[in-house]
Amino acid sequence: MKLNWQQKDFESDIDFILFHQTDDTPTWWKSELYRAHPSLDFDYAQSLTQEERFEYLRRELLKIRNDKQADIEKSIHMFENAWEPIAKNLNEAYSSAFDMDCSEILNDMVGMVGLNPICPRDLSDNSFSIYYYFDPNYAVATALHEITHFVWFNAWQKHFHDDEKEYDFPHIKWLLSELVVETIIRNSDIGKLTPPPEYIAYNYFYSMDIDAKPIFDTLREMYINRKSIQGFMETAYDWIRTNEPELRTKIAAAEK
């Protein structure tokens, strides 16, 4: 398992940013960009049509990218240096966490450093985005979050042989993957590679209960009592399909 760090090209960066700035995007998602870049005016942007908003953000973010180019390059070097000490332990940690040999997978991962505070991934080319202003330790933790998604879906595909399009937002298999990264990292040797942040998954998940029990307590029990990673996948998938309506309702309320 190898990871290269490089700068994300601006057009690709802005495309992913604008994906979370459409008229129908919940405020919870939209607001992350404006917290990360205080020079952007949230109220003004929301007063515009979607097309005008996109033009405004593209123009202003290009200015920010040009102004912060040296900082982005510096961050790439800092992230590389923070990553190097744990790189040699990746295979062992992931092989243990996923009950399989991971040494021959994901040897072409790329951490794309740019302006997006939301860190999307592209399963088709094993790449993910990292916000340049992250603390190096948090950047490493975020990389582990994304790598866990990649390994999860690699194992999932081998077991279920289903449509990989269902691994993206908003499908239920995407939602399950956003939950299990917390479960797997926190309860395996992956979490020992670097101190995990307070929130490994979306922060609103940590206050959600199903059947009067925190969802991460439920998933933790499934994971630590698994007989195989495939068994955990099946049990967790049955659980989320049963509880999807309640989860979706709670997520929609949290993201308003």
| pLDDT reported for residue 206 | 98
Decide: 179 and 234 in contact? Cβ < 8 Å.
no
Instruction: Please give the torsion angle defined by the CA atoms of residues 215, 154, 7 and 13, in that order, rounded to the nearest 10 degrees.
Output: -60
248: helix, strand or coil = helix
Going residue by residue through the chain, which has 256 residues, state the pLDDT in tens, using 9 for 90 and above.
Answer: 899 999 999 999 999 999 999 999 999 999 999 999 999 999 999 999 999 999 999 999 999 999 999 999 999 999 999 999 999 999 999 999 999 999 999 999 999 999 999 999 999 999 999 999 999 999 999 999 999 999 999 999 999 999 999 999 999 999 999 999 999 999 999 999 999 999 999 999 999 999 999 999 999 999 999 999 999 999 999 999 999 999 999 999 999 9
Query: Which pLDDT score, from 0 to 100, does residue 135 have?
Result: 96
What does the alpha-carbon distance between residue 186 and residue 180 come to, in Å, rounded to a whole number? Answer: 10
The one-letter amino acid code at 130 reads I
How do the domains of the chain map onto residue ranges?
3-254
DSSP 75-113: HHHHHHHHHHHHHTTHHHHHHHHHTS--TTS--SEEEEE
What pLDDT does 15 receive? 96
What pLDDT does residue 34 have?
98
Report the alpha-carbon distance of residue 20 to residue 37 in Å, rounded: 15
Give phi and psi for 22, each to the nearest 5: -75, 170
Q: What is the per-residue pLDDT for 62?
A: 98
Cβ-contact 188, 96 below 8 angstroms:
yes
What is the pLDDT, as a whole number, of residue 6? 98
Q: Pairing state of beta strands 127-131 and 109-114? A: parallel
**DSSP-derived pairing of the beta strands 109-114 and 209-210:** unpaired
